[in-house]
């Protein structure tokens, strides 16, 4: 542990008292099981690298879809051919729907592909698997009770660039999903979109993302503080480009829960060091609880 100056010590103890409050509040939220979420992450990582069109992602697809079906959710697949700098690539979004009383829906999302890294074994335990595993656990928890709003659990393919990140070489799944919503005339039905990405870091600090819809980001931050998780929210803002952008561009309220500092100076990000030992079940639980509390607030809005 680092040495703390007396003034920092005060801050340190303050965190503890807020955390105690969080422990009490946990009883009032529907429970995320950290071990179940982590087991999903482990399983996804066991499939090896999972870039679009790979044998690994095919295994991930059938695993995710069969799990969602076991939860008695309505599961749909969106298959499409993405035009990428590396040629046409077959991609698939997986969408599972939980019913609710209202007609507006809430979208919870994660990308489940991993970055294509030629010549290295990149398994994306944090970048791809952590948020996907947590989304599967959120689907279990939320499907157990009928909510006010229907919830769509959306697993995006092709978030990563197939060569180098540009506006057209990235976010394939989310761009396709929003285009489809627009085509169906259902984009207006989405009350809010909550995106999860890289949420497994042991040292979890979720960004105050400048690209997210401000009122929705405020709900997330408020939820985190109420749970005693204020220390998991960054102090300084950052602007993220992620799967929420196509939604924001279309006027759909969207927020990105991402920790974009993975390891010291983001050293583990997009590196072979993004392995299972870097993923913390507790960080998955913290993020999951923040999502559930945000959902409660959205229902009260
Ligand atoms: Zn990535």
Confidence of residue 223 (pLDDT cuts 50, 70, 90): very high
Confidence of residue 30 (pLDDT cuts 50, 70, 90): low
Tell me the CA–centroid distance for residue 117 and ligand 1, in Å.
11
User: How much of the chain exceeds pLDDT 90, in percent?
Assistant: 86
Q: What's the confidence (pLDDT) of residue 2?
A: 37
pTM: 0.90
Q: What's the confidence (pLDDT) of residue 145?
A: 83
Going along the chain from its start, the domains and CATH numbers come out as 30-300 (3.40.630.10)
CA proximity to 172, closest of 218, 259, 111, 87: 111
Tell me the CA–centroid distance for residue 50 and ligand 1, in Å.
12
Residue 300 parent element (H or E) = helix 281-300
Tell me the CA–centroid distance for residue 190 and ligand 1, in Å.
25
Tell me the CA–centroid distance for residue 77 and ligand 1, in Å.
22
CA angle, residues 186, 191, 192, in degrees to nearest 5: 115
Tell me the CA–centroid distance for residue 209 and ligand 1, in Å.
16
Does the structure show a pLDDT above 70 at 18? Answer: no
Q: What's the confidence (pLDDT) of residue 134?
A: 98
- What one-character DSSP code corresponds to residue 278? G
Tell me the CA–centroid distance for residue 91 and ligand 1, in Å.
16
Tell me the CA–centroid distance for residue 103 and ligand 1, in Å.
33
Least confident of 46-55, 143-152, 165-174: 143-152
Tell me the CA–centroid distance for residue 241 and ligand 1, in Å.
11
Which residues have CB under 8 Å from 206's CB, separation 6+?
A: 199, 220, 224, 232, 233, 234, 257, 258, 259, 287, 290
Tell me the CA–centroid distance for residue 95 and ligand 1, in Å.
21
- What one-character DSSP code corresponds to residue 263? S
Does the structure show a pLDDT above 50 at 71? Answer: yes
Contact 243, 156 (CB under 8 A): yes
User: In the structure encoding, which two tokens stand for residue 235, read together?
Assistant: 């102090």
Question: Does residue 2 sit in helix, strand or coil?
Answer: coil
Tell me the CA–centroid distance for residue 291 and ligand 1, in Å.
21
Which residues have CB under 8 Å from 183's CB, separation 6+?
A: none
Tell me the CA–centroid distance for residue 127 and ligand 1, in Å.
5
Contact 55, 296 (CB under 8 A): no
Q: What's the confidence (pLDDT) of residue 27?
A: 38
- Interatomic CA distance for residues 217 and 196, integer angstroms: 13
Contact 176, 89 (CB under 8 A): no
- Interatomic CA distance for residues 267 and 285, integer angstroms: 24
Tell me the CA–centroid distance for residue 107 and ligand 1, in Å.
21
Q: What's the confidence (pLDDT) of residue 301?
A: 81
Tell me the CA–centroid distance for residue 23 and ligand 1, in Å.
32
Q: What is the mean pLDDT of residues 176-205?
A: 96
* Chain segment 76-131, per-residue pLDDT in tens: 999 999 999 999 999 999 999 999 999 999 999 999 999 999 988 999 999 999 99
Tell me the CA–centroid distance for residue 145 and ligand 1, in Å.
32
* Phi and psi, residue 40, nearest 5°: -65, -45
Tell me the CA–centroid distance for residue 71 and ligand 1, in Å.
28
Contact 259, 243 (CB under 8 A): no
User: In the structure encoding, which two tokens stand for residue 46, read together?
Assistant: 């066991």
- Interatomic CA distance for residues 57 and 195, integer angstroms: 20
Tell me the CA–centroid distance for residue 128 and ligand 1, in Å.
7
CA proximity to 145, closest of 178, 100, 202: 100
- Residues within 5 Å of ion ligand 1 by Cβ? 127
Task: Kindly compute the dihedral angle of the four CA atoms of residues 185, 300, 25, 153, in this order, to the nearest 10 degrees.
Answer: -10
Q: What's the confidence (pLDDT) of residue 12?
A: 38
Tell me the CA–centroid distance for residue 114 and ligand 1, in Å.
7
- What one-character DSSP code corresponds to residue 279? B
């Amino acid at each position: 542990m680092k040495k703390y100056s007396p003034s920092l010590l005060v801050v340190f103890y303050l965190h503890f008292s807020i955390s105690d409050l969080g422990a009490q509040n946990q009883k009032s939220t529907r429970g995320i099981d950290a071990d179940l979420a982590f087991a999903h992450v482990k399983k996804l990582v066991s499939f090896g690298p999972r870039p679009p069109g790979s044998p690994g992602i095919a295994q991930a697809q059938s695993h995710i879809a069969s799990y969602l079906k076991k939860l008695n959710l309505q599961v749909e697949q969106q298959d499409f051919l993405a035009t990428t700098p590396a040629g046409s690539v077959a991609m698939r979004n997986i969408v599972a729907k939980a019913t609710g009383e209202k007609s507006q829906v809430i979208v919870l999302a994660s990308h489940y592909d991993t970055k294509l890294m030629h010549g290295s074994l990149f398994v994306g335990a944090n970048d791809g698997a952590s948020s996907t595993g947590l989304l599967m656990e959120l689907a279990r928890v939320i499907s157990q009770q009928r909510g006010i709003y229907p919830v769509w659990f959306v697993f995006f393919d092709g978030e990563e660039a197939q060569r180098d990140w540009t506006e057209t070489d990235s976010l394939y799944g989310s761009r396709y999903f929003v285009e489809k919503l627009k085509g169906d005339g259902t984009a207006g039905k989405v009350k809010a979109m909550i995106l999860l990405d890289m949420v497994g870091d042991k040292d979890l600090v979720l960004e105050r993302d400048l690209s997210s819809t401000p009122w929705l980001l405020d709900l997330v931050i408020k939820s985190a503080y109420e749970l005693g998780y204020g220390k998991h929210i960054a102090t300084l803002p950052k602007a993220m480009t992620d799967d929420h952008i196509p939604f924001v561009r279309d006027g759909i309220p969207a927020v990105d829960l991402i920790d974009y500092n993975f390891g010291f100076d983001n050293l583990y990000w997009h590196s072979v060091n993004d392995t299972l030992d870097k993923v913390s079940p507790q960080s998955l639980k913290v993020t999951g609880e923040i999502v559930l509390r945000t959902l409660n607030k959205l229902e009260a809005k």
